[in-house]
């Protein structure tokens, strides 16, 4: 029963981290460290962006967990890392670690949707200024960027396919930026679009892909890299279609 609990704790820690946007090599390292802290010295872990396999020994049966939903919640990743360190130093028992991981798994997003929308809107305005846009475009970029980010969240829940959600959000973004210029609320459509599109850019995916490749995890690195390329293509295609139609 203790070995089964150790396996469940390791898989739960890996699942939380992978669902929250952690790199696969970090997920594997954390699971192995937790197992070794509980005297499972030959533990084996293998993670991809969509699945985790774990065994307490090289010849033991493997345990499998599928990852269907992935998001960005680095607060959960940090919490699981902290629990892993406490386990390694002997400050947490197996049962205490399991209970804390279950609490983390049941937590909602660290930031509410409204706070995410406000952050996306403010970031859009700031990126517009950073890319040498005028202050006259700051407020239009905030409106366009916040609205597009909101629609991306809605479309993602509705369609369950991130590519189409980001494509439709980019279409709305470009068309709204065009309207802002037409009604003289904005001056430069290019700067508004560039600033507003930044919250949709898959920055974490690109970073994780590079880090996984550098760590030797070629399958995960290439998978995340292709996902980032598809996301960038969806955003670019959505903006390009609108600009081709209106100009």
Which 3 state secondary structure label does DSSP give 63? strand
SS (H, E, C) 214-228: HCCCHHHHHHHHHHH
Tens-digit pLDDT profile for residues 184-240: 888 899 999 999 999 998 887 888 888 888 888 888 888 888 888 998 999 999 999
Last residue of a domain, one of 72, 106, 140: 106
Q: Give the torsion sign (CA, 34, 96, 12, 79).
A: negative
Show the domain range for 219: 113-246
CA neighbor of 143 nearest in space, from 176, 182, 187, 188? 176
Same domain, 88 and 128: no
Q: Tally the domains of the chain.
A: 2
Tens-digit pLDDT profile for residues 132-176: 888 999 999 999 999 999 999 888 888 777 788 899 999 999 999
CA distance 165 to 194: 19
CA distance 139 to 147: 12
Residue 99: CB atoms within 10 Å: 13
Query: Look-up: residue for tokens 């396996």?
Result: 7
Same domain, 122 and 221: yes
The first and second tokens of residue 177, run together, are: 């930026």
Query: Biggest alpha carbon distance in the chain?
Result: 69
Same domain, 124 and 239: yes
Last residue of a domain, one of 75, 106, 137: 106
Same domain, 131 and 234: yes
CA distance 244 to 200: 21
Mean pLDDT of 2-10: 89
């Amino acid at each position: 029963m203790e070995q089964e609990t150790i396996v469940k704790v390791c898989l739960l820690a890996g699942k939380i981290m992978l669902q929250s946007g952690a790199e696969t090599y970090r997920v594997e390292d954390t699971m192995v460290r937790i197992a070794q802290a509980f005297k499972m010295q030959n533990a084996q872990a293998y993670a991809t962006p969509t699945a985790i396999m774990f065994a307490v020994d090289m010849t033991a049966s493997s345990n499998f967990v599928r990852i269907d939903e992935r998001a960005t919640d680095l607060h959960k990743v940090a919490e699981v890392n902290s629990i892993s360190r406490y386990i390694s130093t002997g400050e947490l028992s197996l049962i205490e670690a399991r209970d804390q991981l279950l609490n983390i798994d049941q937590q909602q997003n660290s930031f509410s949707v409204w706070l995410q929308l406000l952050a996306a809107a403010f970031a859009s305005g700031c990126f517009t200024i950073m890319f040498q846009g005028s202050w006259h475009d700051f407020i239009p970029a905030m409106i366009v960027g916040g609205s597009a980010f909101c629609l991306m969240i809605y479309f993602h829940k509705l369609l369950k396919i991130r590519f189409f959600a980001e494509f439709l959000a980019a279409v709305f973004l470009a068309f709204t930026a065009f309207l802002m210029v037409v009604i003289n609320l904005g001056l430069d459509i290019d700067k508004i679009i560039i600033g507003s599109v930044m919250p949709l850019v898959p920055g974490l995916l690109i970073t994780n892909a590079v880090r996984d490749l550098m760590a030797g995890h070629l399958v995960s690195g290439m998978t995340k890299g292709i996902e980032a390329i598809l996301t960038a293509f969806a955003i670019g295609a959505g903006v390009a279609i609108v600009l081709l139609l209106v100009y």
